[in-house]
């Protein structure tokens, strides 16, 4: 491999065309998933989701996995929901399944989303989440006196793998993936750890790695392009 080639590791699946994009820029893209998600489909969860679908409810989504799991259970039902969500891609899925008019607010992180919900003076909310959801959002809402019902609609399973290659950049899209990666690996300080959001960046820092770059735009393939620009500039120094 030519010396000027750079290597990027994505810890989440990407469109296959992204590998070609990186290659044309003079680099190599490896994709290795460090977490696996599965929907929760037991009868109790299905009943809870269906009951929520029959209400005029205020809903929180903080992940694409939760949106997909809920939409699958509702199976075409169009509930009268007011929805708050995190992230560009999560918002796109909400629009796909529940319509653009359902969205009350979006944010880049949990703290900002909680502020929006509190400012709107919502009295009660339903949070569709995973089994490894973070605490910031529920704690803020509970402290503000908002009645919070959590429904776990998917599970996150760590799939750690030991990586032997050196990478110029490693891309992280969730705190769970960070935990799984660092359970079996360490990053040299010269490797840039790209984070999709503040919570992911904070988790990387907790692992003792300080070369962290926040994604300019909370979308996974945009972060790949940002990492490509970073690596090309670094190689040209």
Q: Is residue 164 part of a domain?
A: yes
Q: How confident is the model at residue 1 (pLDDT cuts 50, 70, 90)?
A: very low
Q: What are the tens digits of pLDDT across the range 97-131? A: 999 999 999 998 888 999 999 999 999 999 999 99
Q: How confident is the model at residue 237 (pLDDT cuts 50, 70, 90)?
A: low
Supply the pTM of this predicted model.
0.86
Considering 111, 141, 156, which residue would you say is the last residue of a domain? 156
C-beta separation of 30 from 171 below 8 A: no
C-beta separation of 27 from 8 below 8 A: yes
| Longest CA–CA separation in the chain, Å | 60
Residues 79 and 173 in one domain: no
Region 33-55: what's the mean pLDDT?
Answer: 96
Considering 125, 156, 187, which residue would you say is the last residue of a domain? 156
Distances (CA, A) of 217 to 127, 195, 222: 24, 10, 7
Q: Which residue has the tokens 């003076």?
A: 121
**Structural domain harbouring 68:** 38-156
Task: Output the domain CATH number for residue 206.
Answer: 3.40.50.10090
């Amino acid at each position: 491999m030519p010396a000027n080639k750079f290597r990027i590791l994505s810890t989440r699946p990407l469109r296959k065309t992204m590998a070609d994009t990186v290659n044309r820029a003079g680099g190599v893209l490896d994709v290795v998933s460090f977490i696996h998600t599965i929907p929760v489909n037991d009868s109790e969860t299905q009943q809870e989701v269906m009951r929520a679908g029959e209400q005029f409810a205020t809903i929180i989504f903080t992940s694409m996995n939760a949106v997909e799991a809920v939409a699958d259970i509702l199976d075409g039902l169009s509930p009268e929901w007011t929805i708050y969500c995190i992230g560009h891609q999560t918002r796109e899925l909400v629009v796909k399944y529940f319509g653009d008019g359902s969205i009350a607010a979006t944010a880049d992180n949990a703290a900002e989303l909680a502020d929006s919900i509190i400012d709107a003076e919502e009295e009660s909310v339903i949070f569709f989440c995973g089994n490894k959801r973070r605490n910031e959002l529920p704690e803020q809402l509970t402290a503000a006196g908002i009645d919070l019902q959590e429904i776990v609609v998917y599970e996150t399973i760590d799939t750690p793998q030991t990586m032997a290659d050196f990478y110029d950049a490693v891309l992280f899209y969730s705190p769970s993936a960070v935990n799984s990666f660092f359970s079996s690996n360490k990053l040299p300080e010269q490797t840039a750890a790209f984070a999709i959001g503040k919570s992911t960046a904070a988790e990387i820092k907790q692992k003792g790695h300080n070369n962290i770059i926040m994604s300019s735009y909370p979308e996974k393939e945009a972060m790949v392009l940002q990492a490509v620009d970073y690596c090309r500039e670094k190689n040209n120094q």
